[in-house]
Amino acid sequence: MKPLEGLRVLDFAQFLAGPAAALRLADLGAEVIKVERPEGGDLCRSLVVADQKLDGDSLLFHTINRNKSGVTADLKKPADLEKIKELIKTADVLIHNFRPGVMEKIGLDYQTVSDLNPRLVYGSVTGYGTKGPWVRKPGQDLLVQSLTGLQWLSGDADQGPVPVAFAVLDITTGNHLTQGILAALLRRGVTGKGALVEVDLMSSSLDMQFELITSFLASDRSQPQRCKVSNASVHSTAPYGSYAVRDGYVAIAMAPIAQLADLLGCDALAAYGDPSIAYTQRDEIKAVLRDFLATKTVREVLDVLEPADIWCAEVLDYPRMMQEEGFHALDAIQTITSHGGTKVETTRCPIRIDGETLTSPKGAPALGADNATYLSA
């Protein structure tokens, strides 16, 4: 039995952050019902990435909405709205990511819904919270990265802003919503009352950067500077970074420079063995290491550093990673079947319960596929 079996979740959300939270609850055993508009459904159905579609919808939609049922309702029509309200009475969790004020206008705001179902945990995702001048801005991952300093952490010092190259804030915010919902469900087990759980992409972005922002607040409040060479962390000392070698790249994390110089046989690096300069002179140190490693192979470097317990790794791309025994040992890929009958490989839930991985073969629902089951009244 999965931990959340017996719980019912209504997923009104679109795109990624809200649906990601609903997906994780589904992975943990909850019955998740996706509620969409009849015309077009979730806008993510048409958000095609890598030019990949499945059963007429984007592959992205299928991956973020797997393991869910689906109904359609026009919430502007009183008859449809009443059917949804009846469904809400049976639910344990409701998730939405409409902009502030939209659910109030529809008549499905937290106060109204909690009167219908006092035990309901009501999860809301926004871009920037519910107050302030940015509330009406589009809450999109790249834009929130841009407004919260995140793009000035990656890349080398001579580059402009470098975005994180996937929807890191959507996924993180979805995880935060899941945490809040689970905490509220635990409290409900004691009090019998539901809760309003609110998250926003901006707060999640700031929380992800807690280490850097705390250091900024405790300093002269100047922007932390990226390394000029092999930047991997704006605060780390040399040698922290990834370096090109003859046949690929090697990442080296924390290591005493004197020990690294001795192991590699790099006399030029030995001149920087004083630990007190590992941060202040990190660019010079990393430049020496970069030039030295450029003549080596991946195996030559790892065969020297790994036995000495220096934290290092080859930098793998997807094809190489998926050839590795370490990847296969995790059993990280599952197969789902789309509503059209096509089998698709995707990642599984990263959580294991009692030693067992959490998987499900059920794909994303066709638009309105389960209306007869849930909205027949």
Q: What is the rounded distance in angstroms from the CA atom of residue 289 to the CA atom of residue 243?
A: 8
Find where tokens 């950067």 sit: 209
- Which residues, listed in sequence order, are joined to residue 70 by a DSSP beta bridge? 34
Choice among 42, 170, 283, 370 that is catalytic? 170
Amino acid making up residue 152 = W
Question: For the CA atoms of the chain, what is the radius of gyration?
Answer: 25
Q: What is the rounded distance in angstroms from the CA atom of residue 227 to the CA atom of residue 234?
A: 7
Whole-angstrom distance between the N-terminal and C-terminal Cα of the chain? Answer: 30
Q: What is the rounded distance in angstroms from the CA atom of residue 67 to the CA atom of residue 226?
A: 42
47 Cβ contact partners less than 8 Å away, ≥ 6 residues apart: 15, 58, 60, 61
Long-range contacts of 206-211 (CB under 8 A, 24+ apart): 206/148, 207/172, 207/176, 208/150, 208/168, 208/169, 208/172, 209/148, 209/149, 209/150, 209/153, 211/235
Burial class (CB in 10 A: 0-12, 13-18, 19+), 302: middle
Q: Are strands 121-126 and 93-96 parallel, antiparallel or unpaired?
A: parallel
156 given a catalytic annotation: no
Q: What is the rounded distance in angstroms from the CA atom of residue 152 to the CA atom of residue 229?
A: 15
- Half-sphere exposure of residue 198, counting CA atoms within 13 Å on the CB side? 14
Q: Which tokens go with 27? A: 């992975």
Residues in the chain: 377
Catalytic residue annotation = 170
